[in-house]
Structure 1
């Protein structure tokens, strides 16, 4: 066994309460708890996010440069959407309790709850997974570079992304007042017919 962990040290931890480790909270129905090596020092190349979502809430588009992700559904229903970088196509996988979806390292993806009280685990093969969020890319890349790259007016680009908050994690924002009809094009019911439910 090759490990840098000293399992005999007095500070060695073997148990932890993930409920006491909040990572992100949108409201009392949409939040994440975290477990990594900072919380449990005997973890070796594994970590997780304990995620709770209500219907039509989603984990924003993002990718993990240093980790693959296994999404396990505990309750409710969630659509896991993955952009295959080789085929340039999205695949949408509807998973329910006991089912999983695998996201390879570095692949762009997002998850959308289709039922209230959806509870999932996002399990990573890294003790501290890195994340690049879509909101951070939009807000932190200089607007003149984005506008130039895509042949846009810089002021129009700035106006378009003005409502985007860096490190959104769970969307849409609490103050979102779009109508249900407007939201239909973004939410899971729109692409349920294109999803690939588990058999």
Structure 2
């Protein structure tokens, strides 16, 4: 798998994105600008094909006035930030206790086998990727996953089959939350 430093990403800090960053920074005192890092990273990632290259992380650090390592630490810690291009349809399965006891690992294996990939590996056409994540906060609906900003709950193999087909048929419209 290629790392983000092997893949070139066009950095496009549009006037609209810069205005949004400045608006986020305005919520914090000048000496606490780093506090805006997480929402800024969300908006920058959303504006750059849902991933953050090293060059883009460096640009965020420059804008905020912090060291690049401070951005890298955050991006590598949280699974919501992507360090490489990802599949268009990211199936993010909750892997914590409630979902685990309800069979999420078998569903992840089933999904990977169905798509012909391993966890964390996009399909060759870039359409799908399967990822395990920490608690998504919907324990009463286990096993579950997130697709875009929507939860898919009480999962079964049949529901996975239908989701995959709906994605292929263009019936799944990905909506991502706008921070702010």
Q: What's the TM-score, normalizing by structure 2?
A: 0.29
Which structure shows the higher helix fraction?
2
Q: What's the TM-score, normalizing by structure 1?
A: 0.27
Higher relative contact order (CA 8 A, sep 6+): 1
Q: Which has the larger radius of gyration?
A: 1
Which structure shows the higher strand fraction?
1
